[in-house]
Each structure stands twice: as C-alpha cells, then as structure tokens.
Amino acid sequence: MKVTRMTTLLLVLTALALSQSVSAAVYEEYDCSIKPDGSFSPDGTKIVFSDFDEEGKDKLFISKADGTGAIVLMPDIPKKEFTPDWSHDGTKIFFISFNAQGNGKIYVVNADGTGKQELMPDDPKKQWSPDVSPDGTKIAYVSRQSGSKEKLYIANIDGTGAKELMPDDSDKQFTPDFSPDGTKIAYNSFNVDGKLDKIFIVNVDGTGKRELMPDSEEKQFTPSFSPDGARIAYVSFNEDKLERVYIVNVDGTGKQRLTTATEGREYDPHWSPDGTKIVYNGNTVASVPPASGTGSAATATATGQSETDAGADTGAGDESKSTPGFGWMVSTGMVLLGYLFAMRAA
C-alpha cells in the first residue's frame, strides 16, 4: 500500500493526540502526589513523609526528627499514599490514597499504621492536600469533580459538613495551610492576569483574600506558615529555573532563601513546631536562617539526605521518577511507533 507524505503526517499527528490523552490520564491519576511531602509531628520528634519504597511505590514513612531511621508506616497495604499531615494531637495521620474507584481521597490512619479508613466515603469528588486546623476541629483540602476546577474546601475533622471555601472565586486553588491561630489559610492560585501561580491568604470564612507578594513576578507554590505566624515558607524558581525553598514575612517583605544548596530541587517545606527547622523534599531537614530583609540565606544543616544532593537516593525531587514523567515516555513512544508504522507502510 502506497502512503503519501500527507497520510504519514496525519498518522503521526493522530498518534501524538492519542499519546497526550494517555499522558493526561496518567497525570490525572497522579495529581494528588506531584512531589515528595513531609511534616513534623506536633511534638517535633518525628516526621511523616511520602517517598518511594523498595518497589518504587509511593508510600508513607515515619522517621526521626532529623530525617533518619525512616520506616514504612503501612507496609502491608499495597495502595499508593501521598501528602500526609498530622492530627493536632499527633495520634493520627491524614493523607491521600486511592479508593476502589481509583479516585484520590482523604484517608486517616493511627500514627502506628493501624485503623486506616476513608474520611468521606460518600463524597464522589477527588481530594488531595489535606491540612488539619491547629485546634484539630477542621480539615482544609483541595477537591474537584469531573469537568470542574480545583477548589479549596473545609470540613469537620470527622469529614462532615464539607463546604467550598470560596464558591464565587473562579480561579483554581491548591495546597492550603492553616495559620497557627486557625483564622486564615494560605494557598496558591493564579494572579489577576491568570498567568502566574501566586500565594494568597484568605480568612477561614472565605473573605478577605489578598495576594502575599503582588509586585513579585515569580511563580510561588506550597505555602507553609511558621509556628508564630510571622513568616511563610514556600517554593519558587531561582535564576537557573530550579525549585528552591524561600521564606518571606507574612506581609510579603524580607524574602530569603532557606539554604545555600546549589544542586537538586526543593519541594514542599513544612516548619518544625519550635520554628527552628524546616523539612522539605520529604525528610530533608534544614535550619531556619534568622529573619532578614536582605534576602541572605544561612548555611543549612541538613540531615536524612545531603543538602547538595537532596533526594538523590530516594527519588524525592527527581522529576524523572514521577508518574508524569512516565506519561511523557508513553507520549514519545506512541509518536515514534506512529512514525515507524507510516514509514513501513510507505
């Protein structure tokens, strides 16, 4: 059979379109994971974080406060687990896993790995990024149903009374974090031009939304309030387009880097209860530099993983080991197969 160049091009484009659908579906399944995430226990003695186990599956781990001695929390449960957060008393852990329908949902488990249960089994919407209020009575999270945008929700800690935080806000919203006094939530969304991911702060009743750094042209993600509420840690890109953890005052001034690392990527910062440490990339721990308006960064002391090679052994912070990366490989493979088929037919 003779195949023209136009037919060849159409075959390649069709393969590309199909591959994008596959890639999007894979990313859709993985949208609640994205990057390694960890947080200190309320007493500051432990860290819970998500990382790859020996089989390459995303699982929850518990480590010491310095990031060492990590063990899998639920080794006998095969489901993937992401974005953990402690209960206010440290007895339970809230996290994301997949239910029987394959949707990412909020689950809760005892801190010893027993008693896992889905928090809102009757809610069909996908959920991710749970964050427990300081008094332990509420939980904020991101949710959406098919065909809708990602929005912030708040529910009672038992999963009842869920409601959308800002139903009249048309922008997507991600990664909520309660302020220490429980009156506000920091999150990332899009600025007025709809072009940049920026950090916003809103009251817990959905009023008073404000952009943290409106004059900044940088993208900003995953905000985390300091224990005293005076500063916010977040992720942005440096001049080399690598993700880095930064700290800024709650009024948007005094931006500075957390570490002086020159290699690797940095994701998802969370403060220790005493405000002297920040854990990022799952279980990498760094000392917090003194507050400053100069933008200087103190030399960090990281344990659990080396500061200049964060995530090298576990896959944390390595985009090539994430499921979206797998989707890219599927895309490339399908396009190549389409091209080879067309050339063979020609």
Query: b/e map of 45-59 (b: 16 or more CB within 10 Å)?
Result: ebbbbbbbeeeeebb
Alpha carbon distance 321, 189 (integer Å): 26
Name the E strands within 53-160: 58-64, 71-72, 81-86, 92-98, 104-110, 117-118, 126-132, 138-144, 151-156
Q: How far is CA 196 from CA 172, 188, 190, 191, 236, in A?
A: 12, 10, 5, 6, 11
Note the pLDDT of residue 194.
64
- Asked if the 31-321 domain carries CATH number 2.120.10.30, the reply is yes
Residue spans of the domains in the chain: they are 1-30+322-346, 31-321
**Residue type (1 letter), 246:** Y
pLDDT, mean of each 10-residue run, the chain (346 residues): 46 41 32 66 97 91 96 93 96 95 94 97 94 98 86 98 95 96 96 80 97 92 97 91 95 95 91 97 94 51 39 32 33 44 48
Q: What is the pTM of this model?
A: 0.77
Q: Which residue has the tokens 């909020």?
A: 106
Radius of gyration of the chain (CA): 21
DSSP labels, 60-90: EEEEETTS-S-EES-TT--S-EEEEEE-TTS
pLDDT value, residue 341? 46
pLDDT at site 192: 67
pLDDT given for residue 281 in this prediction: 93
Reduce the secondary structure of 276-318 to three states and give it as a string.
CEEEECCCEEEECCCCCCCCCCCCCCCECCCHHHCCCCCCCCC
Contact indicator for 21, 14 with CB cutoff of 8 Å: no
pLDDT for 102: 87
